[in-house]
Structure 1
């Protein structure tokens, strides 16, 4: 299984570094960023080089930062040539960690679990704290 992260700027690169800081090296994982000097064709060439390393040999998962942005549009267009590649958007650290955990324990990658973990990682912390505080008050 291979994972490719792709974003505007260095978000994907730094997200991968953060994930590896927490859980260790992620083999068969690469991060690419669209830089100011890059155009869509440059990014497409970079990501396609990575896809070709794995496609047809093992499942390829691609997570982009934003659907509708250049990395997302490049990914969507590439699904025409690589229809078995699974593309997700909304890149965040919980998604990458969930993917890694699934891979490390040897289970088949469940995209629904990756997506759920990504969504569950978005929390209004103030509301969470207030809800916890309200529960504590009710217990007294």
Structure 2
């Protein structure tokens, strides 16, 4: 996960609490609010290498077009197969964690569906 400070790390903590043992390797890379994408790229790359098991990496990003998204876009050009999804949410993360057997393409679709289906208008 690549996000602004205070987004990815708490979501990962919540997921660990709900899921327990993580079925997939997950790292939270929090980008400082005033950071430059070039400055944080080495740290983000190190986080990517930690979770890369050889089958590619799903990059969950908080806000499309913002600095974390630009960092994720640069990560995707470093040679590791990646899919990027913006709109990071707990439902998105949990959905991805519930389908560890899926390949990268299918897991990206599943995670995006989890985010969409996690938005519910509750008129009760």
Same fold (TM over 0.5): yes
Contact kept? 2:57, 2:80, Cα under 8 Å: no
Question: What is the correspondence of 1:1-40 to structure 2 with a 5 Å cutoff?
Answer: 5-26=1-22, 27-36=24-33, 38-40=35-37
CA RMSD of aligned residues (A): 2.0
Question: What is the correspondence of 1:5-84 to structure 2 with a 5 Å cutoff?
Answer: 5-26=1-22, 27-36=24-33, 38-55=35-52, 57-82=54-79, 84=81
TM-score normalised according to structure 2 size: 0.85
TM-score normalised according to structure 1 size: 0.76
Residue 73 (structure 1) shift: 1.0
More displaced stretch, 52-61 vs 20-29: 52-61
> Any idea what SS the aligned residue of 1:50 has?
helix
Contact kept? 1:102, 1:108, Cα under 8 Å: no
User: Which position in structure 2 is the counterpart of 1:108?
Assistant: 103
Residue 75 (structure 1) shift: 1.0
Q: How many residues align?
A: 121
Bigger-Rg structure (1/2): 1
Poorly superposed stretches of 4+, deviation over 4 Å: none
The structure in which a higher percent of residues are helix is 1
Contact kept? 2:62, 2:69, Cα under 8 Å: yes
Contact kept? 1:75, 1:87, Cα under 8 Å: yes
Structure 2 residue 90 is the aligned partner of structure 1 residue 87: no
Contact kept? 1:10, 1:32, Cα under 8 Å: no
